[in-house]
Structure 1
Amino acid sequence: MTVHFPFQNSYSALPDSFFARVAPTPVAAPRLIKLNRPLAVQLGLDPDLLETPEGAEILAGKTVPSGADPIAMAYAGHQFGNFVPQLGDGRAILLGEVIDRDGQRRDIQLKGSGPTPFSRRGDGRAALGPVLREYIVSEAMYVLGIPTTRSLAAVVTGEHVLRETALPGAVLTRVASSHIRVGTFQFFAVRRDTDAVRRLADHVITRHYPELLTAERPYHDLLAAVVARQANLVARWLLVGFIHGVMNTDNSSISGETIDYGPCAFMDAYNPSQVFSSIDEMGRYAYANQPRIALWNLTRLAECLLPLFSDEQEKAVAEAQDILGAFGEIFSEAYQAGLRKKVGLFTMRDGDEALIQDLLDAMAKNQADFTLTFRKLGDAAADDGTEVRAQFMEPAAFDEWAGRWRARTSLEPQTPAERQAAMQAVNPIFIPRNHRVEAVIQAAVNNDDYAPFEELVKVLAKPFEDQPDYAAYADPPLPDQRVLQTFCGT
């Protein structure tokens, strides 16, 4: 049998200015590393056929499946605050769209599939390391319950790509609700192509926000909907200690999904100023800056939509500012609600926000591990808190706080066991620790050994469950294992 993709493409039916038609560049000897079989089934694909040599050729871009309409999408973007009027998919090609088993339209994109008209002298290829990183982290984010693009497959190409050194080449098959970004709107807005902005907005409403099709002010409501999704998304990032690393407007998804896992990382020791990205020298995208940057990006989206709001500039600006003004409250509500769950509070009382902030301040001062502190705090709901105390350089700092916390929790009727279970359901024990991800990459790149990759993916698939056989995966890095910088894959 032949591998069949039930494509129903809509983006490639838009005007030619929205994309460039370009086929993937064939590779020498594709070999499947990993297929996400449950996701394949969800997409209506046959995982057994995808694991054949023919399937590997499709997932590597060597063969274009029937019904595909491969395109590289056009977009612009602010990169670290500097506007670039033309970026676009420089190393990714959208094969097409399918309707999954839940009736949701999903993009299937090959990342690392060769040069496009947007490559800007790049080779359009991806190295193995970034492909493995994105597979690991995006799938970890999914099981943590955070909106995200997903990874269908990773394939090695049998070729090398030249970065600082020659590295094994690879292709990631990425699945997304769509790949439309704030930068997609900016591409047309900077060219003063209001008709294209309107066409794009109509497409986004139909695809992502169909409830707005009959709205009285659909474009205003579109901005409000994207603001709400982004505010909730960034709140969820902060609640698991995630740092995106490169929150450019071209990496800000209109659907509200996390997209582009380049120099991303999860914090070990809690530090609001933590930066991992090697190119973020000024800390623009530091952990605690992410809400502010999300609003900055949304403001750029609002600027693009102004001509659709009103012919009167002043009126349009005032309306946009009113919509953007809701971001802070939406974010704060989502973030504080998440924090209350993390510390085991079932109700909201005066003083809760200050109580939780005192814990975060003590964690920062004592270099407490973000993930393990909250996980072990759940255990402390039912024991003496010995393990959570051990996360603090000065355990007395926790003791003082714990006394107030226990007094607060005593005002609620839940039993210690009930509180512990509720906290463990929202506080993971396993995250993609940077040193673990790097170890997996080194084993694959240097030794063609994917056993560590498979094991890490297996552990991360159950982040909230104690897995005694893999307990070491919960440990923070030793001093000589710390990863201080992460890098973009380009």
Structure 2
Amino acid sequence: MSDFKPARHHERLGDAFYDRVAPADFPQTILRHRDQRWAARLGLDALSDDQWLAHFGRFAPLPGSLPEPLALRYHGHQFRSYNPDLGDGRGFLFAQGFDLEDNRLLDLGTKGTGRTPWSRGGDGRLTLKGGVREVLASEMLEAMGVYTSKSLSLVETGEALQRGDEPSPTRSAALVRLSHGHIRIGSFQRLAYLEDTAGLRRLLDYAIATYYPELEDAADRPAAFLAAVTANVARLGAQYIAAGFVHGVLNSDNINITGESFDYGPWRFIDRYDPGFTAAYFDETGLYSFGRQPDALAWNLTRLAECLVPLSSIEALEPALNTVWPEFRAELPRQMLRRLGLQTRDIENDGAFVTSLFEFLATSQVPYERFLFDWRGGAMSAARAGSSPSALAYASQAFRPIADALEAYQPRDDVNLDHGYFARQRPRTMLIDEVEAIWAPIADGDDWSLLEKTLEEIAQMRQAYGTGEET
């Protein structure tokens, strides 16, 4: 572990921002997934399986990092209703270290590792199926170029859990997530709720020093911080749309100030373009449906702006907040063209193209990921698209405006069409039926081979698209 560069930055905030907790003592620790690629970026790839389980199943501290796990304190709006009783209820910040490639701070946070003062009567556990779903979501999103947390480790823990939303008893797991920070909009909301202006300033100073050091000398640091967070969160909203992804629970406690997506519960990918598609069965009004996700993110950013008023002024913060829609309108075409492997032209042409593309996808009902796969590189993929199951739709009169627009775009240098992934008959997707098919042999016979094969295919997809970090 000599390459691991530990950190204890979060402790600088002080005990008022977290609770020191102990991990659960699990009956078993069975390693089910370890991300060697990201372990290498932390200098942890040389750990034996026994050493890995000691740290990520029993949670022995990593040398030089946090001596005890920290359950972070925060509040948040859940489906627009304020909840002051949140905080890390089944996880904690276990350790911090530096990325050996870019020297950025990385947090190792957990899910399913026991009760904390914020468990609210819950058991503090995670189902194994929930852990598998989080691995699949984070791997797939990373391959699609979404700025997401990574599933570093999944360990089965040998407990039988009772859950009302799946057959019980069910198997349990402990997940370790890797991300660039755990400061949420809800972290600021808690301090605003408590009218703790000194705490707000302390958190803002920490956030700028740790995640936005370029803002240190800004004339109005709260306004500059809000503008930077707004740009990153707007980009995330565009990446969700470009990936055809529905997070499902975009509450303010699930919005990271770095603009990094995390915490995958009822997520889904869309099959075909449908703005009204929802992921969570309990989202009865479609508040977090596919097409309303940018609105949800903008609403949450407004809550952050409200928290910063005591440190600045409405007059200074409002212009920063009002950048959210211009940022999103500029970012959405950029992300869609990135997925198609095409160079941008200008905002007006790019925006018009993406609008017409969504109109075509809505009326033709060509599968969403199928279209992006078929037309990677634009017009240079016309022959590939001509052999697609959707070829008839591409030959229709309705497609002519899209075909003409594709002719006007030049491929990006990283279009990579000679990669074996683009010779596949169909793109790698992660629709709900596929997720259930991956889980079924694990549940029925402890057969992990389909999950392993799927992760290999996602790795091939990631290599083909040249993704693996912020895009």
**Superposed pair shares fold, TM > 0.5:** yes
User: Residue 318 in 1 paired to residue 321 in 2?
Assistant: no
- 2:171 aligned with 1:172, yes or no? no
> What runs of 5+ residues in structure 1 fail to find an aligned partner?
310-315, 468-490
Cα distance in 1 between the residues matched to 2:416 and 2:6: 46
1:453 to 448, 451, 454: 451
CA–CA distance in 2 between the matches of 1:182 and 1:349? Answer: 30
Separation in structure 2 between the aligned mates of residue 151 and residue 178 of structure 1, nearest angstrom: 14
Q: Is the 8 A contact 1:362 1:397 kept in 2?
A: no
1:117 maps to which residue?
117
Deviations 1:263-293 (A, max 9, x none): 1111111111111211211100011101111
Structure 1 stretch displaced more, 429-438 or 23-32 = 429-438
Q: TM-score, normalised by structure 1?
A: 0.85
The answer as to 2:89 corresponding to 1:58 is no
Query: What is residue 157 of structure 1 aligned with on the other side?
Result: 157
CA distance in 2, matches of 1:350, 1:235: 17
- CA distance 1:465–1:402, change in 2 (3 Å): farther
Q: Which amino acid aligns with 1:34?
A: H
Q: Tell me which residue corresponds to 1:335.
A: 332
2: CA distance between counterparts of 1:167 and 1:47? 32
**2:468 alignment counterpart:** none
Q: What amino acid maps onto 2:38 in structure 1?
A: L
Distance 1:264 1:409, change over 3 A: closer
Match of 1:401 in 2: 398
Q: CA separation in 1, counterparts of 2:398 and 2:76?
A: 44
CA-atom RMSD in angstroms:
2.9
Cα 1:202–1:271 change in 2 (3 A) is: same
Structure 2 counterpart of 1:474: none
Aligned positions of 1:130-149 closer than 5 A = 130-149=130-149
What pairs with 1:83-482 in structure 2 (closer than 5 Å)?
83-101=82-100, 102-164=102-164, 165-309=168-312, 316-341=313-338, 344=342, 346-348=344-346, 353-378=351-376, 381-383=380-382, 385-388=385-388, 390-391=389-390, 395=392, 399-411=396-408, 421=417, 429-463=427-461
- Report the CA distance shift for 1:419/1:127 in structure 2 as closer, same or farther (over 3 A): closer
Inter-partner Cα distance in structure 1 for 2:356 and 2:129: 39
Determine if contact 1:128/1:445 at 8 Å carries over to the other structure: no
For the Cα contact (< 8 Å) 1:60–1:110, is it kept in 2? no
SS in 1 for 2:129: helix
How big is the shift at 1:198?
A: 0.7
Seq. identity, %: 31
Closer, same or farther: CA 461–151 of 1 in aligned 2, 3 Å: same
* CA distance 1:91–1:33, change in 2 (3 Å): same
Assess, with a 3 A threshold, how the Cα gap between structure 1 residues 465 and 35 changes in structure 2: closer, same or farther: closer
Q: Distance in 1 between matches of 2:117 and 2:347?
A: 56
22-31 or 3-12, which deviates more? 3-12
Deviations 1:286-341 (A, max 9, x none): 111011111100000011111000xxxxxx22322211111111110011223345
Cα pair 2:364 2:393 within 8 Å, conserved: no
Cα deviation for residue 420 of structure 1 reads 8.8
Cα distance change of structure 1 residues 104 and 168 upon mapping to structure 2, 3 Å threshold: same
Partners in 1 of 2:73 and 2:133 — Cα distance? 25
Inter-partner Cα distance in structure 2 for 1:408 and 1:450:
44
Q: CA deviation at 1:106?
A: 0.9
CA contact (8 A) 1:381 1:420 kept: no
How far off is 1:141 after superposition? 1.7
1:44 match:
43
1:151 & 1:4 partners in 2: Cα distance?
A: 20
Distance change in 2, residues 1:449/1:325 (3 Å): same
1: distance between equivalents of 2:108 and 2:155?
15
Cα distance in 2, alignment partners of residues 415 and 194 from structure 1: 50
After TM superposition, the structure 1 stretch with the greater mean CA deviation from structure 2, 339-348 or 245-254, is 339-348
- How far, CA to CA, are the matches of 2:294 and 2:170 in structure 1? 35
Between the aligned partners of 1:275 and 1:178, the Cα distance in structure 2 is 28
SS in structure 2 at match of 1:90? coil
| 2:356/2:402 contact within 8 Å kept | no
CA contact (8 A) 1:25 1:62 kept: no
- Give 1:397 deviation, angstroms: 7.8
Partner AA of 1:330 in structure 2? E
